[in-house]
A = this chain, B = another copy of it.
């Protein structure tokens, strides 16, 4: 049984203080989603029926259906007419998410995130692969290098670029064994809403072969990602090099 190691999957969840201000269908969605991800429902089990949810939460059916509709769109549940809402085992993810071993027995405990360089405010690279807005260009960015170690060998080398706009004390944060998405969310309330990525296979250069501890010329997966957030016009960027000789990237969509 292969175990999934989630690297970049970060749930967009709001702080509890904001929950009371949310519309009802959203509150219900958050509640049900929480129950599902916490594993309160055995996989494949039935959710309460729409009418039951109505009376339990004192809302009307359209409201319930709106909440369920989002859960379905995001892959948490599957609805079947005449039957009910079935809780899915794996939620649909955002883009490419996890690393799986081509051999068995890869557990989360074997995964380590190591910070190669401290977050540093710099200018944008010359040949940046994505188009930048004026304010992004003017503000510069914070660069951050990390690598992921699986069973002692590096499988992933990631350079992140975060526009230096209203992210106070960002350079002082530590990212050892932390997800960038989590840091953005918990410190600045920035949630990931989607993004764009470019994927290619390249041959390992001298520098990448050092980072990934592989021979020069070995096939390497390269990803260029732009990650959009709930902050309007604010995105951050990542360049990822991945050694897929023993592992591969996996994602649902």
Contact = CB atoms under 8 A, between A and B. Distances in A.
Given A219-B219, A253-B95, A199 B199 contact: yes
Interface in A33-73: 62, 69, 73
A92 to B, nearest CB: 6
Chain A interface extent, by class? 35 or more
Contact of A221 (B73, B197, B200): B200
A199 B252 contact: no
Contacts of A199: 96, 199, 221, 244, 248-251
Interface string A193-225: 011111111110000000000000111111000
A250 B220 contact: no
Contacts of A201: 201-202, 219-222, 242, 244
Interface string A65-101: 0000100010100000000000000101111100010
A96 B62 CA distance: 34
Contacts of A197: 96, 250-253
Interface string A238-252: 000010100111111
Nearest to A251: B197
How many copies altogether? 2
A160 B195 CA distance: 27
Nearest 5 A-B pairs (CB), nearest first? Answer: A200-B244, A95-B253, A201-B201, A201-B219, A219-B219
Given A219-B219, A220-B219, A221-B221, A253 B194 contact: yes
B219 A252 contact: no
Contacts of A242: 201
A30 B219 CA distance: 41
A117 to B, nearest CB: 25
Contacts of A220: 201, 219
A197 to B, nearest CB: 6
26 contacts: A62-B62, A92-B194, A93-B253, A94-B253, A100-B198, A194-B252, A196-B250, A196-B253, A197-B251, A198-B248, A199-B249, A199-B251, A200-B247, A200-B249, A201-B219, A201-B220, A201-B221, A201-B222, A201-B242, A201-B244, A202-B219, A203-B219, A217-B217, A219-B220, A221-B221, A253-B253
A134 B26 CA distance: 40
A253 B195 contact: yes
